[in-house]
Structure 1
């Protein structure tokens, strides 16, 4: 048995209202970079479904930038650590690691020879540092500000100049190396969010929360003008990015627009309207080759269309919050993946292309705990908003009528033939038939945690915090306790019948999976050991011979029912986070999700 990582559908950038997001561009123009949690995500700009994730930071990463040579990426985190790592090898070997100051890093800039790095942020003793990339020794001092520095840039032509923008409403100008403070520019009346030199070094722009963008001479730091006269945008400007020929720039604003400026003419050539919702505020942008990118507060990445400013060429969607639940389903022969996250968002992925979208309409408002597809092609989901929803996968639209309110919070949902579904809520079981509640069972004598309905119908297995599996029979519109129990090794975390109904696999907190043989009166077939921590999810392969398990130990195991020793271990399936969901697309393709907000597909050979 062997495995190989086939595809990575990466998370979106992690966004915060009122905080600009830096997008890094590859000097060769092929990739772009951003951060989410402890991950740095590298995506192909022409085909964003191609992605790579760097996960070596122990703390939340805030910014990542390519070196001008393109061989290295520098990424920095909230502790003040900066890691410089290789981009040419798959392993991304660490070249150097430094901590020039302690505190959150907000921005990074390289000199054009890829030898010096400036970083700024919320340091405790200082707000910035400039150092040699290979020794870490200082090449100047970043001073002149009395508050957090939000942005830094270095002129990419000699003589070198460095500029910073800060929460003290000022920009500061430095000459070097070694970089020495020359003067401050206090043209902005609010925070300075972004400063950027044009590629030819002739000028630089500073963008502020006051909606203004000022232009300065790149060599002397003299102010030469303001884009759009009195105001460039109606809201704060969070980012600017120059065109390669230094004649134009784009600006992203909280007024939900991105503007394309002709710098010499001082006019906005195009205004891209991104929407009317608060989540349509634009907090970052990047001009890369022929692509104009912007990031919305929702985390969506927009490819702007100069010919049609009211509609992006494409919008990359996905998850920016941890993914909790997963299922897969074939719709008219095509494989689709469905994933639900902590914010209630459910995403639909085309498993082959990575194209994705959400359902239209109002959906869950809180964590989606579990999801499964029933025989009628409906996605059945339960959420911490105390509801169970039935959503038609063909229409891709939430229905207000196919929504059932539960008395208590549901933790798990199971579906079976005949239109039955069973919700496991805190302290009770709720049986549903044809999208309506038909029976509620309380005072169970144990706390139910998980459930599975036999594919042949008639039987519900419920796993409890008491470490037992309790069998119930479904009789018409009622649920009857059969009085039969099987023992797991610990409190049950997840359970699933094989597709042919021959086996029931039960995972528990004591790191064990027990498989019961249904035909033999639920006798134990085998116990499966291997996980180092609580097992949280299970999924049967369509061949009914193999199943996968995921745990808090970040491991995924592939097991053969008949032989517990024949197993394949996928270590660090999602490095840094536990595996929260598993699903099979076919006998040889396993999908995994995690709190890193990414979806991975693995090719498995038995």
Structure 2
């Protein structure tokens, strides 16, 4: 029994309003880089469904940049640590780790020989450092600013020059190495968000929150002019990126546009309008070979189309917040993965290609706790916004009539034949049919945590925080307590009937999974031990002989019903984060999700 990772559908960048997002590009032009939480995400620019995730930072990572050689990536986090790691091996071995200052690292720049690194950010005593990559010894001082430094860049041709941009509305110019302060430019009236040298080193630009872009001589630092006259953008500018031939530039702004500039005439050739919504503010951009990328506040990655500026060639969607729930469904022979996140966002993915999108309209406004698909091809979801929704998978559109309001917050939802659904809420059980409440059971005398309807629709099993599972019979549209109680080893966390209804599997906080045999009057069939922490989710394999569990220990186990010792263990399935959801595409393909906002597919040999 073995496993291998088949696909990673990566998270989007984690965005913050009014804060620039730095995108890194690889020197060969194949990949681009960004960060989300403690992860650095490397994505293929031609096919963003191909991704790799680096998860070795113990703190939130802010920025990552390739070395000009392409062999290493330097990434910096909120604690001021910078890690330099290998890109050629799958393991991404750590080469060096430094702490140039204590505080958030906001930008990183390498010299063209990949030997020196400049880092800037929010230090306590200093806001920047420049050092040799292999020894950490200083090769100059970054001084001249009184506030946080947002951006740094190094001229990629000799003689080297270094520029920085800061919250003190100034940019500074250095000569070196060793890099020495030359002078300060105070042309901007607000924060300087981004400074970038042209690839040929002849010029550099600074872009600010005042909506202006200034052009300077790359060698002397003298001001040459501005882009777009008095103002380049109506809103603050967060990022700029040069074309490889140094003749053009793109700029991303809070005014919800990206502009393409011709540097010879200092005028905008194309304006890309990204939409009317606040989430359409543009906080990052990258020019990589013939790809123009920009990042919206929503986290969406836009591939811009010079020929059609009002519609991107493609928009890469996904999750930027932790994924809480997961299910899969086959439609016309193709498998789709549905995932719901902490912010109420539901995304669907083509399991093979990774192509993804979201439903139209207004859906859940809070964390999506559980999801499943019923027999009429509706996605049934329950959320902390106190609703259970039934969304047609063929229409892929939310409608207000499909939401059923609950009296209290639902934790779990389960479906069975005959259009039945069971919502387990705080202190309450609700039986639904055809999008309507049939029956509500209050005053339970225990706190229900999870529930499962038998596929035949005759029995509802409900697990409580008291470590007991109660069986209710579904009779003429009511739930009747038959007095039948099963014992789990601890407070119940999740439960599921096998697809054929033969078994009921229950997970609990005491790290045990108990499987009951339905035909034998719910006698214990087997108990399964192996998790080091609370087990939080469970999913049955289509063959009904195996099931998977995920825990707070970041482990996924695939168990064999008849033999607790025969199992597959996937350690660190989502490193640094516990597994939040499991689903099977077929008998050999398992999907996992986690708080790292990514979706992974595993091929199993059972």
Q: Tell me if TM exceeds 0.5.
A: yes
Give matches, 1:230-241, under 5 Å: 230-241=230-241
Structure-2 separation of matches of 1:605 and 1:504: 24
Deviations 1:452-471 (A, max 9, x none): 00012210000000100000
The residue number in structure 1 matching 2:577 is 577
Structure-2 separation of matches of 1:514 and 1:478: 27
By how many angstroms is 1:503 displaced?
0.3
Structure-2 separation of matches of 1:62 and 1:434: 47
Deviations 1:444-503 (A, max 9, x none): 111000000001221000000010000001112111001001000000000000000000
The residue number in structure 1 matching 2:268 is 268
The residue number in structure 2 matching 1:442 is 442
Structure-2 separation of matches of 1:482 and 1:277: 53
User: Alignment RMSD, CA only?
Assistant: 0.4
Structure-2 separation of matches of 1:435 and 1:463: 24
The residue number in structure 2 matching 1:85 is 85
Give matches, 1:60-75, under 5 Å: 60-75=60-75
SS in 1 for 2:352: coil
The residue number in structure 2 matching 1:296 is 296
Give matches, 1:194-205, under 5 Å: 194-205=194-205
SS in 1 for 2:439: strand
By how many angstroms is 1:16 displaced?
0.2
Give matches, 1:445-460, under 5 Å: 445-460=445-460
Structure-2 separation of matches of 1:590 and 1:477: 35
Structure-1 separation of matches of 2:455 and 2:170: 67
The residue number in structure 1 matching 2:560 is 560
Deviations 1:523-543 (A, max 9, x none): 000000000000000000000
Q: Does 1:527 align with 2:527?
A: yes
Structure-1 separation of matches of 2:202 and 2:390: 59
Give matches, 1:321-332, under 5 Å: 321-332=321-332
The residue number in structure 2 matching 1:124 is 124
By how many angstroms is 1:10 displaced?
0.0
Structure-2 separation of matches of 1:486 and 1:479: 17
Deviations 1:250-284 (A, max 9, x none): 00000000000001111100000000000000000
Q: Structure 2: 5+ residue runs without aligned partners?
A: none
Structure-1 separation of matches of 2:481 and 2:412: 19
The residue number in structure 1 matching 2:417 is 417
Give matches, 1:211-230, under 5 Å: 211-230=211-230
Structure-1 separation of matches of 2:444 and 2:239: 57
By how many angstroms is 1:333 displaced?
1.0
SS in 1 for 2:153: strand
Structure-2 separation of matches of 1:581 and 1:594: 7
The residue number in structure 2 matching 1:42 is 42
The residue number in structure 1 matching 2:137 is 137
SS in 2 for 1:372: strand
By how many angstroms is 1:402 displaced?
1.0
Q: What count of residue pairs does the alignment treat as equivalent? A: 606
SS in 2 for 1:401: helix
The residue number in structure 2 matching 1:512 is 512
- Scaled by the length of structure 2, the TM-score of the pair is 1.00
By how many angstroms is 1:332 displaced?
1.1
- Scaled by the length of structure 1, the TM-score of the pair is 1.00
Give matches, 1:350-369, under 5 Å: 350-369=350-369
By how many angstroms is 1:345 displaced?
0.1
By how many angstroms is 1:387 displaced?
0.4
Structure-2 separation of matches of 1:331 and 1:454: 24
The residue number in structure 1 matching 2:547 is 547
Deviations 1:316-370 (A, max 9, x none): 0000000000000001111000000000000010101000000000000000000
Deviations 1:232-260 (A, max 9, x none): 00000000000000000000000000000
